[in-house]
Amino acid sequence: MSNYLEIPEFEDSIPFRMFLNDGMTIVYPHWHTEIEIIYSRKGKVNIGVDDTIVQLEKGEIYIFPSGEAHYFLASPDSERYVYQFNLKLFDEKILRTSEDSLISLFASGEPHSRYWPKELTQKATELLVQLYGVEEQKPAGMKYMSVGYLYQLIGELYLHLPRRIAEKAQTKRSAIQYKETLDLLNQVFEYVEDRFQEVIVLEDVAKFVGFSPYYFTRFFKTNTGQTFMQFLTEYRINQAKFILANEKIPMVEVAEKAGFSSVKTFHHVFKEAVGQSPLQYRKNLNNH
């Protein structure tokens, strides 16, 4: 089974989200540019990392760096906290001095807390549990608190995270090995993020990253598992879902704000992808 690119849907402008999955939530092989941290809250969590199965014991932590393929197998009687965040959350131009970049920190660091110093495991666990509590309780100033805990976690990792052990250092898709690919994909993602409301054609995107249309088509499909136009359509549908959930505006405006050329096209594409019309989708949200 090929790996697919996952684009996390963040609820607001802060590129961070977290959620709780039970052990029977199976996730197929995928990768994303965001950092993902798994904390085993209960039982044993079975994780696939490339061709290796890792069993995360209760209380253990595992970190997936940007670009590393992974998946989750059935893990009865277990629960896991999942934390995802984009490194754009941290302004490295201001914050970083002589230390490694964040992408290098996560790519070269040991991902499994089983091999961490005891003090790092204890502190990271404390911060992750507090972070989940803030997101659950939603107190005043919660975004400041959430970002604060994430910054503290980064600081602790810089201080105490050991390097990957030798046999784990040769991962198939490490962020260092694939840094150029990830950088190019990020350029494409940012291009779409900035222009999705406009007419976007493949030739323009290819030119933007310095590729021929033919090479760009192969590059994008190879590294994301989908064509560029499939990705663009999926991105616009996700934008439409967010708008439908948060704004009470006519469908023609939803279509325009999500980047669709007409409300007729929007209705057809949305229904084909989601299985219900945009109007029904909005009604179902209001009924929950």
3-state secondary structure the chain: CCCEECCCCCCCCCCEEEEEEECCCCEEEEECCCEEEEEEEECCEEEEECCEEEEECCCCEEEECCCCCEEECCCCCCEEEEEEECHHHCCHHHHCCCCCCHHHHHHHECCEHHHCCHHHHHHHHHHHHHHHHHHHHCCCCHHHHHHHHHHHHHHHHHHHCCECCHHHCCCCCCCCCCHHHHHHHHHHHHHHHHHCCCCCCHHHHHHHCCCCHHHHHHHHHHHHCCCHHHHHHHHHHHHHHHHHHHCCCCHHHHHHHHCCCCHHHHHHHHHHHHCCCHHHHHHHHHCC
Residue 38 confidence (pLDDT): 97
153/21 same-domain check:
yes
- In this predicted model, what pLDDT tens digit does every residue of 167-213 receive, in sequence order? 444 444 444 445 677 778 888 988 998 999 999 999 999 999 999 99
Same structural domain, 186 and 252 = yes
pLDDT digits (tens, 9 = 90+) for 82-93: 999 999 899 998
Return d(Cα 191, Cα 282) in angstroms, integer.
Answer: 28
Tens-digit pLDDT profile for residues 227-285: 999 989 988 998 898 888 888 899 999 999 999 999 999 999 999 999 999 999 888 87
Are 137 and 8 found together in one domain?
yes
Domain endpoint, select from 168, 190, 207: 168
The verdict on 158 and 240 lying in the same domain is no
> What pLDDT score does 100 carry?
87
Q: What are the tokens at 172?
A: 């198939």
Residue 220 scores a pLDDT above 60: yes
Domain assignment present for residue 41? The answer is yes
Same domain, 151 and 254: no
pLDDT tier at 3, thresholds 50, 70, 90: low
Query: 244 and 136 share a domain?
Result: no
Residue 225 has pLDDT above 60, yes or no: yes
Q: Which of 129, 145, 168 is the last residue of a domain?
A: 168
Pair (72, 122) in one structural domain:
yes
The answer, yes or no, to whether residue 2 has pLDDT greater than 60, is: no
Of 116, 139, 168, the residue at which a domain comes to its end is 168
Q: Look up the domain containing 90 and give its range.
A: 4-168
pTM over 0.75, yes/no: no
Domain with residue 205: its CATH number is: 1.10.10.60
My answer on whether 155 and 31 are in the same domain is yes
pLDDT in tens, 138-156: 999 999 999 999 999 999 9
pLDDT in tens, 15-69: 999 999 998 888 878 888 899 999 999 999 999 887 688 999 999 999 999 888 8
Q: Are residues 34 and 160 in the same domain?
A: yes
67 in the same domain as 200: no
How many independent structural domains does the chain possess? Answer: 2
Instruction: Report the b/e string of 57-72 with b at 16+ CB within 10 A.
Output: eeebbbbbbbbbbbbb
